[in-house]
Structure 1
Amino acid sequence: MDDCSKDVINGLPDNLLCQILSNLSTKEAALTSLLSKRWRYLFALVPDLEFDDVFSLHPQDKASFIDFVDRVLELRGKDHVNKFSLKCGDGILDEDVFPWISNVLRHGVSDLVLHVSPALVYWLPSKVFASKTLVRLKIGPEDGPRVKLRNVCLPKLKTLNLDSVVFEDGEIGFAKLLSGCPVLEELGLRNLAWVYWDSCSVASKTLKRLRLCCTDYGKSPKSVSFDTPNVVHLEYSDYIAHKYPKLNLDSLVEASISFRITEDQRSNVRNASDGDEETEMVGNAKRLLMGISNVKILHLSFDTLETLNLCCEVIPIFNNLTHLTIESNPEVGWDTLPGLLKNCPNLETLVFQGLLHKATDRCGDVCVCQGLDSNPCSLSSSRVKFIKIMIFGETGDDEMEMKQIKHFLAKMPNLEELTIYYNTSIEVDMVHLSSQLQMLPGVASLKCKIQVISDNLSLSITFPISLSTGFALII
């Protein structure tokens, strides 16, 4: 750097230099203290503080890390802290962490991220849940802290993410937390061990986005309720609950559902007869679907398909659904798809994340296996206009995938566009696939266009389904 450049930088005001330093981690910004006397303490004035010691292995590194955090907070004095992110592993004790948290809370922190995995179980300071300035709070993951809530008052909190946090009072403590967040808009919950609670109820009138994942325990929760009338986006991944007493999701627009059953439940379902206790679980699978049946965009995992194959013969009607994504798996059949497509009268876009699935005699006319229970109208009566095939070519069975694509083209009269995302780095493969698709006989919709896309090649080939010999090549 020449002298002129140095003079320009040194001539900048402190607040602008701090803004530049905010693009670095706190550790990197601290290196600028070696430049000159003016820079010696400037890094500590940056409003966003991020400390990461997760990968430190030696005790001396831990001691150095503790000294570094202490020093930075001391240099800041009473200056406002916008964000405080702390990530540290074993070797950092409560007596080290608590003063840091108390310090930034006193100085009006609005964004707090705590990823602390001490050697011993630790309790999170209750003052974290009585902050008048916090807007975003993220706690976890792994070996999360224990929380015993007294008074919860988080009047400005809009985003809350909890991973592996243990509530000492179980569902009572969790309910108390939500009730103390009057403007909460986004909630993420992961592995809260609510399988051990008598019930879990997510109740919030202000919540708009909700993410729940609790799949590490291998058992079903007893009772799950959603009293969230303003949620528009839901991601739900869990073992199917024994009960869903309340499902208030009236504003739901988009949902991603991944629910599964335990091995014991799977065995019981296969051996069950009418009237067995597993019938209750079957009803709950249907009840959950009914609770989200007003959704417009829906993603179903292969675990969900398997559960529905086993447990839900009657699919609710999804009158508002226009966009459906199906995740396929070679071990899971498409038994549910005929009924699902039939009960989505306004479906326009159908996305398949993979095409390979288990061949059964219950797929109807949705797939090429066409079993004994074939329903001839599930595809031919479908209003679907757009099909997207993701990850074509990843399974190594291109021939079977190609048969399935041809089947769609032959059966769906309203199809306007079929898009294939081809996982290939060979341009010749793209051209060969396009040539095969272009000259298909007996297609149901001559107005359908086909697009083959390779992100690896940044290449797209688009052509109409017709007897013409040319196609457009778009780079």
Structure 2
Amino acid sequence: MATAAKKAETCGGGSINSLPDEVLGQILSFVPTKLAASTSVLSKRWRNLLPLAQNLDFDESANRGSTASGRGFLDFVERTLVSMGDSPIKTVSLRGISYIDDSRYNHLVGNVLGRGILELHLASSCIRYIEPEFFFSKTLVKLTLSDGYNDQNKPFPGGVLFPALKSLSLIRVWFDDFLYGDDLYECLLSSPLLEEFNICDDDPLQSGCLKRVRSSSIQRISLFHRCHDREACSWVLFETPNLVYLDYSGYVAENYVVELDSLVEARLDLVLWKHNDSVPPLYDSTTWGDAWGADKLIAAISNVVTLHLSADSLEVFYCCSTSMPEFNNLAKLSFESHKERHWQVLPLLLENAPNLETLVIKGLVHKITKGCGDVCVCERVTKKRKKQSCLLSCQVKVLQIYEYGGSCRELKQMRHFMENLRCLEVVKVKLQVDMQENSSLTDKLQKLFHTASSKCKIQFI
């Protein structure tokens, strides 16, 4: 306590006490509330500064004085709220309250919501029953629920859930159904002003995933799911006509029902089921295999301007090569490499993106095959094949390479890009972290660029 108080008294050698109360209140908003509350022992002036903090962050793991039941921590939270009086609060984060009864928990949540807060972040690993009134806050703009099971054992009253809500995040959270059978997920997504929806379920044994998103207001979606129940992941639905950004990670579904007419940017991490050793294959097919149904999703995103693909997604796209759409609006393509994943779809993908201007590659090392020689040096490039290379007609002006390691194969790949990307104007290279001080790598690349092209510039980032 004494150390924390001493640090709070000075800032960069000057006295922090010279700052106005409002500024000190903002500073206290950016530190854990337990630390902010401890500054009250500094002086009479600091004793009254906590109510000026508009953001409160309560974390049970940081409360050394809490009891095994969690009541000591809860007492601290309640005392802090009392000390705030009627001062406005914008954001409240409450993490890790365990082993307390639901009535006290709901009273606490009702207390902060009654203050008209704009953001609420709740995290609890326990099973919780949340009062229906919680979902009808008229001021809440951003809500995050993490790490818990939220049970509902009675119907909700009529009305619109969270009429002002714009951002909803559900992190390892699942709900029980209402008695009358409605799905709480869909009720939350029906909030009229909702623009952003984030959901993360990385528990491979939890099959109760959200498979459908219906909303005319949502503009951004981030969905991460790693369920190993193949039947539970058999289909995915996105009815989001105004969605502009999609970040989707999960095993490939058998069927996609999608409406993505306004999509501008997509980030896909699609994984073939054959890479999941715990799930037996449903059929044996060398063409479609586990990517059955992914062609519908790929077709739905074909109007995007920016596309990010994981190394696994490249394999999924390759499985859908026979139905690959044109990406006429695509201006920026980025993808990741992995030593066990191939690049075989890239020639087709680049040919189907006639207006591509920026190509971003994270890592150049990938699985060696015979099918991607147009864009890489997996095989020796003959003069005949060089004339047929899809890179020769590619309009890429900017090439960005991340995690460059400087191996002989990587250097040959860089030379291949330089010799075949005729519209190239600038190449940006980011070395691997452990090689950023290796001047020989930069020298070799500089020499390569002077030899291969007088037009193109190289930048190290």
Length-normalised TM-score, structure 1? 0.81
Find the counterpart in structure 1 of residue 166 from structure 2: 158
Shift of 1:309: 3.0
Secondary structure class of the residue paired with 1:161:
strand
Match of 2:358 in 1: 349
Query: For the residues of structure 1 that align with 2:58 and 2:84, how far apart are their CA atoms?
Result: 15
Matched, 1:377 2:389: yes
Q: CA deviation at 1:367?
A: 1.0
* Structure 1 residues 237 and 267: alpha-carbon distance in aligned structure 2, compared to 1, 3 A threshold: same
**Equivalence for 2:79:** 71
Residues 256-312 of structure 1, C-alpha deviation per residue, up to 9 Å, x if partnerless?
1111122389975983278xxx67x64521110111110001000011112233454
Match of 1:101 among 109, 112, 116: 109
SS at match of 2:253: coil
Distance 1:304 1:224 in 2: 17
1:306–1:332 CA contact under 8 A, matched in 2: yes
**1:255-266 equivalences in 2 (<5 Å):** 255-263=266-274
Find the aligned partners of 1:125 and 1:166 in 2 and give their Cα distance.
16
1:117 is matched by which residue type in structure 2? S
* Equivalent residues of 2:240, 2:260 under 8 A apart: yes
Q: In structure 1, what is the Cα distance between the partners aligned to 2:380 and 2:273?
A: 28
| 1:305-384 → structure 2 map (5 Å cutoff) | 305-370=314-379, 376-384=388-396
The aligned counterpart of 2:244 is 232
User: Which runs of 5 or more structure 2 residues have no equivalent in the other structure?
Assistant: 1-8
Match of 1:29 in 2: 36
1:58 shift after superposition: 7.5
Distance 2:16 2:354 in 1: 67
Q: Which residue of 2 aligns with 1:145?
A: 150
**Cα offset for 1:237?**
0.6
- Which amino acid is 2:112 matched to? V
Q: Partner residue of 1:51?
A: 58
Structural mapping, 1:433-452, within 5 Å: 433-440=444-451, 443=452, 446-451=454-459
Aligned equivalent of 2:401, options 379, 385, 389? 389
Please report how far the alpha carbon of residue 147 of structure 1 lies from its aligned counterpart in structure 2 after TM superposition. Answer: 5.3
Asked if residue 249 in structure 1 is aligned to residue 260 in structure 2, the reply is: yes
Deviations 1:127-166 (A, max 9, x none): 22111010110110x3443457725421111111111221
Q: Which residue identity does 2:284 align to in structure 1?
A: N
Amino acid aligned to 1:188: N
CA contact (8 A) 2:363 2:403 kept: yes
CA-CA distance at 1:224 after TM superposition: 1.4
Q: Take 1:402 and 1:106, find their aligned partners in 2: how far apart are those partners? A: 62
Cross-structure match for 2:5: none
> Structure 1 regions of 5+ residues with no counterpart?
455-475
Whether 1:426 and 2:437 are equivalent positions in the alignment is yes
What's the counterpart of residue 271 of structure 1? Answer: 284
Alpha-carbon shift at residue 188 of structure 1 (Å): 0.6
On the 8 A contact 2:307/2:334 being kept in 1, the answer is yes
CA–CA separation in structure 2 for the residues paired with 1:399 and 1:67: 63
Q: Which moved more, 1:350-359 or 1:60-69?
A: 60-69
From the superposition, tell whether residues 429 and 273 of structure 1 become closer, same or farther in structure 2 (CA, over 3 Å): closer
> 1:191 aligned to 2:201?
yes
Q: How far apart, CA to CA, are the structure 1 residues paired with 2:119 and 2:213?
A: 23
* Cα distance, 1:83 vs structure 2: 1.2
Q: Which moved more, 1:360-369 or 1:332-341?
A: 360-369
When structure 1 is superposed on structure 2, of 30-39 and 364-373 the one drifting more is 364-373
1:206 is the counterpart of 2:221: no
C-alpha separation in 1, matches of 2:152 and 2:323: 42
Provide closer, same or farther for how the CA distance between residues 133 and 271 of structure 1 changes in structure 2, counting only shifts above 3 A: same
Q: Deviations over 1:80-109 (max 9, x none)?
A: 332111011544553442221010111111
Query: Residue 186 of structure 1 contacts residue 209 of structure 1 at CA under 8 Å; is this kept in 2?
Result: yes
Which stretch shifts more, 17-26 or 261-270?
261-270
**Distance of aligned partners of 1:125 and 1:437 in 2 relative to their CA distance in 1, 3 Å threshold:** farther
CA shift, 1:449, in A, is: 2.2
Q: Identity of counterpart residues, as a percentage?
A: 36
Q: Is the 8 A contact 2:358 2:397 kept in 1?
A: yes
Query: What does residue 299 of structure 2 align with?
Result: 290
Task: Tell me the CA shift for residue 186 of structure 1.
Answer: 1.1
Worse-matched range after superposition: 332-341 or 418-427: 418-427
- Give, in whole Å, the separation in 1 of the partners of 2:185 and 2:397: 44
Residues in 2 aligned to 1:23 and 1:413: alpha-carbon distance in whole angstroms: 50
When structure 1 is superposed on structure 2, of 61-70 and 320-329 the one drifting more is: 61-70
Cα RMSD after superposing both structures: 3.3
CA distance in 1: counterparts of 2:328 and 2:38, whole angstroms: 59
